[in-house]
Amino acid sequence: MRCQSVQLTAIPTGAATAQNFGVFDAEVDDPGDGQVLVGLRRLGLNAGLAHRLGGKGTAYGPGIGVGDVPASDAVVEVLRSSDQQFVPGDLAVGKSPWCTAAVVDADQLRKIDKAASNEDLNARLTILGHVGLTAYTGMIHVGEVTPEDIVCVSGAAGGVGSCAVQFAKARGATVIGVAGSADKVAMLTDDLGADRAINRHAGPAVDLLRAAAPEGIDLYYDNVGGEQLEAALDVLNFGGRVVICGAVSGGSGSGGPANFRNVIYQEITIRGFTVTAHEDLRERFESEVGRWLREDKVRSIHTVFDGINRVPEAFESLLSGTSSGRVIVSVPSQRE
């Protein structure tokens, strides 16, 4: 079968741009035993992939050289199957190369509802996908958020943070989001329902958080570490809780927060988690978040580009921050 694939054509010298990629015709083989031939329906791009272009691999995959076809999270549709779990027309999520069609191992795919709407397909890469399950695990299972809680979320406009804000709101809590621009702050309050939002560039983190939470906070959901974590440890109420999801700022590494003793004085509980250890929560997560989506209590935050030939442009927009939420490329069904 013929397909179109997106390859790296030149190693970026600075930030990657659309010119570093090209779209080419290619041939896909028939699936072998235990494999399926899938057509791409949605491709979810991730900025972390930029670190692998022309360089070494990271924990998320190998280095990507000239002529290579990168791979990302995707929703795919089975076109031909040599595996008893799948029949043509099945929809699934998994990793797919940046190609309109590919042969993949069936055990790397997770089947989803065949009747999924266009919006459902996008949500499978956002609020109902990996970032959604991460936020659900951290906010609902580890953080045990309650309607009485005043919650602060750092990195609140990012993939995980935007879900964490919405899940805390859906459970009735008061939510303060921290983000890095005026546009993101507006999105937090206007689109995601946050009660208050902080632009982290507007002053010292602790002053901004104190002003936004004069009554203190009960639960801090941390995506970034560093200065934001330190500010939260100053503003948390007695018996407060901290959920450590990530540390993108790199600032809460070996040294730890200077005010760590507040954990003693304020009887603060700090708990980290790894989403892959909580696969058992997936059914409950899909059921509860699926219901919130149907009730319009939560939404998928994404920007869609139509067509595989727009992958290079979509990737550039992801890196330059000109799109909001997850950047998704949509490809029409290839079933006759």
Ligand X SMILES: NC(=O)c1ccc[n+]([C@@H]2O[C@H](COP(=O)([O-])OP(=O)(O)OC[C@H]3O[C@@H](n4cnc5c(N)ncnc54)[C@H](OP(=O)(O)O)[C@@H]3O)[C@@H](O)[C@H]2O)c1
Binding site for ligand X (CB under 6 A): 131, 134, 155, 157-161, 179-180, 184, 200, 223-224, 226, 228, 245-249, 273-275
Residue pair 184/325 in contact by the 8 Å Cβ criterion: no
Identify which of residues 155 and 257 has a Cβ nearer to ligand X in the complex: 155
Taking the complex as a whole, how short is the minimal distance between the CB of residue 134 and ligand X, in angstroms? 4
Identify which of residues 53 and 164 has a Cβ nearer to ligand X in the complex: 164
Q: Give the Cβ contact number of residue 77 at 10 Å.
A: 22
Q: CA distances (Å), 290 to each of 48, 73, 174, 235, 241, in order?
A: 28, 20, 22, 34, 27
Identify which of residues 3 and 16 has a Cβ nearer to ligand X in the complex: 16
Taking the complex as a whole, how short is the minimal distance between the CB of residue 336 and ligand X, in angstroms? 37
Identify which of residues 77 and 316 has a Cβ nearer to ligand X in the complex: 316
Identify which of residues 11 and 182 has a Cβ nearer to ligand X in the complex: 182
Taking the complex as a whole, how short is the minimal distance between the CB of residue 40 and ligand X, in angstroms? 22
Taking the complex as a whole, how short is the minimal distance between the CB of residue 17 and ligand X, in angstroms? 19
Q: Quote the radius of gyration of the chain (alpha carbons, Å).
A: 21
Taking the complex as a whole, how short is the minimal distance between the CB of residue 12 and ligand X, in angstroms? 19
Q: Quote the CA–CA distance of 75 and 81 in Å, as a whole number.
A: 16
The amino acid at 305: F
Residue pair 176/145 in contact by the 8 Å Cβ criterion: no
Q: Tally the C-alpha atoms within 13 A of residue 314's C-alpha that lie toward its C-beta.
A: 23
Taking the complex as a whole, how short is the minimal distance between the CB of residue 128 and ligand X, in angstroms? 15
Q: Return the closest-CA partner of residue 261 out of 231, 237, 232, 233.
A: 233
Identify which of residues 158 and 312 has a Cβ nearer to ligand X in the complex: 158
Taking the complex as a whole, how short is the minimal distance between the CB of residue 180 and ligand X, in angstroms? 2
Identify which of residues 223 and 330 has a Cβ nearer to ligand X in the complex: 223
Query: 185 by DSSP, 3-state: which?
Result: helix
Which residues touch 313 (CB under 8 Å, ≥6 apart)? 18, 305
Taking the complex as a whole, how short is the minimal distance between the CB of residue 157 and ligand X, in angstroms? 5
φ and ψ of 217, to 5 deg: -120, 155
Q: What is the 3-state secondary structure (H, E, C) of 297-309?
A: CCCCCEEEEECHH
Identify which of residues 318 and 331 has a Cβ nearer to ligand X in the complex: 318
β-strand 196-199 against 217-222: which pairing, if any?
A: unpaired
